[in-house]
Amino acid sequence: MEFHHISVLMEETLSALITNPDGIYVDCTLGGSGHAKRIVDKLSSKGRFIGIDQDPAAIAVGKARLADAICRVDIVNNNFSNISKILDELNIDYVDGILFDLGVSSHQLDVAERGFSYMQDASLDMRMNPNQDLSAFDIVNKYSEDELTRIIFEYGEERWAKRIAKLIVEARQVTTINTTGQLVDVIKRAIPAAARREGPHPAKRTFQAIRIEVNNELDMLKDVFTDAVTRLRKHGRLCIITFHSLEDRIAKKTLQNLAKTCVCPPRIPICICKQEAQLKLIGKPIAPSENETNENPRARSAKLRVAEKL
């Protein structure tokens, strides 16, 4: 099965994540198994790897690519928001490292029929889990103008959100918007010509926003990062790779809060929360090298954050 995906920040991630070759490691976003293959190659026969993904295509590829691993391998078709339940079902209390590589895999973007890409005409879909009900078609054709404005502005950080939402609603009153190509045409009409000539593709932000809404990508992040920390053993590592400012902001704030010894409001003169730091932050966020971004332009916006369990 062809599943082309170039994993970003590979060496930096492996160096930060793996502290014990006999340990247990979780890749919460298995994808094309790029990171996973390198992780299992560094584990001994006593080690264990758990790969999680909600995309059946990723599960099939993971099973094939990791079949010759000398460590124990468990491939789980589930959403990483259920990480604690998944580990419970595997009878695992604590692990030595957890990796989140967020965003869309190259495979999902490149396979036209998945409907993630504004560069290829296909049915509006964008579901990472093809078995879920909500799709991009539902959002584009059924959300109110106010709802569309909100998600395009908040999740896409698109300055023309209100105008784009208005034209989507007008267009679907004439005919149902069935394809990515139809949606791109509406977005292009909504954005003034001068604005279209500068910056990224005019549909990039709106497609990002709809994808985030379809897959509930942001709402779960704070809770799942916190859950992941509770499942790390002492000195275990948490690695989070983000690709846009919204998810990176959540990762940064969550890790900072878990590394604090007090979260009381500034107006309170003495600490009453009694919070103990659960993490220490390891270094500054790591960005891809110039060589990596030249070889893989999709890596441009990536950031790796690393923290260690206290």
Reduced 3-state DSSP string for 109-174: HHCHHHCCCCCCCCECCCCCCCCCCCCHHHHHHHCCHHHHHHHHHHHHCCCCHHHHHHHHHHHHHH
Let me know whether 210 and 121 are in one domain.
yes
Please give the pLDDT value at position 299. Answer: 86
- Give the integer Cα–Cα distance in Å for 264 and 247: 25
User: Minimal CA–CA distance to 25: which of 83, 98, 101?
Assistant: 98
Give the model's confidence band at 1: pLDDT under 50 very low, under 70 low, under 90 confident, else very high: very low
Name the burial class of residue 269, with classes exposed (0-12), middle (13-18) and buried (19+) by CB atoms within 10 angstroms of its CB. exposed
- Residue 47: domain span: 10-103+218-309
Position 39 in a domain: yes
CA atoms within 13 A on the CB side of 98: 28
Phi and psi, residue 250, nearest 5°: -65, -45
Is 33:65 a contact under the CB 8 Å cutoff?
yes
Let me know whether 95 and 160 are in one domain.
no
Name the burial class of residue 137, with classes exposed (0-12), middle (13-18) and buried (19+) by CB atoms within 10 angstroms of its CB. buried
pLDDT at 128 over 90: no
Position 4 in a domain: no
Of 43-47, 232-236, 262-266, 296-300, the least confident = 262-266
Which helix or strand (DSSP H or E) is residue 74 part of?
A: strand 72-77
Position 24 in a domain: yes
* 242 Cβ contact list (under 8 Å, min separation 6): 102, 103, 248, 251, 302, 303, 305
pLDDT digits (tens, 9 = 90+) for 192-210: 988 888 878 899 999 999 9
Instruction: Indicate the pairing of strand 48-53 with strand 95-101.
Output: unpaired
Position 227 in a domain: yes
Let me know whether 67 and 144 are in one domain.
no
Please give the pLDDT value at position 95. Answer: 98
Please give the pLDDT value at position 167. Answer: 98
Residue 192, domain CATH = 1.10.150.170
> Can you give the pTM of this predicted structure?
0.86
Let me know whether 282 and 209 are in one domain.
no
Residue 41, domain CATH = 3.40.50.150
pLDDT at 72 over 80: yes
Position 144 in a domain: yes
Domain end marker among 150, 184, 215: 215
For 256-295, the DSSP string reads HHHT-S----TT-SS--S-----EEE-SSPB---HHHHHH
**Angle in degrees, CA 14, 22, 92, rounded to 5:** 100
Domain end marker among 190, 215, 240: 215
Let me know whether 140 and 203 are in one domain.
yes
Please give the pLDDT value at position 197. Answer: 83
Let me know whether 129 and 62 are in one domain.
no
Mean pLDDT on 31-42 = 95
- Give the integer Cα–Cα distance in Å for 158 and 209: 9
Let me know whether 252 and 178 are in one domain.
no
Let me know whether 206 and 229 are in one domain.
no
Position 2 in a domain: no
Let me know whether 235 and 92 are in one domain.
yes
Phi and psi, residue 102, nearest 5°: -80, 170
Domain end marker among 215, 250, 273: 215
Let me know whether 60 and 146 are in one domain.
no
Let me know whether 226 and 205 are in one domain.
no
Percent of the chain with pLDDT over 70: 95
Which tokens belong to 88?
């419970």
- Give the integer Cα–Cα distance in Å for 78 and 59: 10
Let me know whether 75 and 131 are in one domain.
no
Q: 105 vs 15, which has greater pLDDT? A: 15
Position 160 in a domain: yes
Position 166 in a domain: yes
Domain count, the chain: 2
